Amino acid sequence: MDRTFPCLHVITGHRPEETVRAVVAVAARLGATDRLAVQVRVDDDMCDREAFELTSRILGRCRPQGVLCLVNDRLDVALAAGADGAHVGAEDLPVAAARRVLGPAAVLGATCRTPAAARAARDCGATYVGVGPAYATATKTGLPDPIGPDGVAAVVRAVPDMPVVAIGGVTVERLPELVGCGVAVIGALRADPDGAAQRFLTALSRPLSRIA
């Protein structure tokens, strides 16, 4: 990948299209589109057609502005819509298999909690790792205990050549504790996507590769 890796990953949740429209517009206004990635997290009850059409519309907002667009879990949808890549976790295709499906050029994220898991994901072809939950979160149930900023830092140290993205309960106020990594957020944008995106992008004012 020959672009600087984004440090703010906005994952879709509540009102996905309104949120994406707002955050892409904010990033464009701030001249920060290279700092933003959008990850489409399709609801489990959405059928394939709906997932494809939602992803295609979101990609249509991202691509003209040069905002990276990834799809959570659904490699088929990512490929069909022509997204930039996908993110996989423990219940999804293994990283090496996902890399085979997506091909060598796609961006591939993998969820990890430990330094060893991050090194393994890197060795299997992941582009970046999503690490967490960093803090407690109400957005997803059944998660293990939060690893905290120290747990995130341990992963950052383990894979110095790879972007790390902290996820789970991340807020603008917590950014100073999360050193050397980008962040992925769902809930922090829910109430005020425009204002929150502005605060995150301003705080994360350098691309990830230059923070790390």
Ligand X SMILES: Cc1ncc(COP(=O)(O)OP(=O)(O)O)c(N)n1
Residues that bind ligand TZP (CB under 6 A): 132-133, 137, 139-140, 143, 167-170, 185-188
- Smallest separation (angstroms) from ligand TZP to the CB of 28: 23
Give phi and psi for 166, each to the nearest 5: -80, 140
When asked if residue 151 is in the footprint of ligand X (CB under 6 A), the reply is no
Q: Which residues are annotated as a binding site for Mg(2+)?
A: 73, 92
Query: For tokens 């609801």, what's the residue?
Result: 43
Residues 85 and 107: beta-carbon distance below 8 Å: yes
Question: Which residue ranges make up the annotated binding site?
Answer: 72-73, 92, 111, 137-140, 169
Applying the rule CB under 6 A, the residues between 85 and 144 that interact with ligand X are: 87, 89-90, 92, 109, 111, 130, 140
Secondary structure (H, E, C), 120-151:
HHHHCCCCEEEECCCCCCCCCCCCCCCCHHHH
Cβ closer to ligand TZP: 66 or 195? 195
Q: State in angstroms the smallest separation of the CB of 186 from ligand TZP.
A: 4
Tell me which residue of 175, 188, 133 sits closest to 7, measured CA to CA. 175
For residues 173 and 10, give the distance between their C-alpha atoms in angstroms, rounded to a whole number: 17
Considering the complex, state which of residue 91 and residue 161 has its C-beta at the smaller distance from ligand TZP: 91
Binding site residues, ligand X, CB under 6 A: 9, 11, 39, 41, 72-73, 87, 89-90, 92, 109, 111, 130, 140, 165, 167, 184
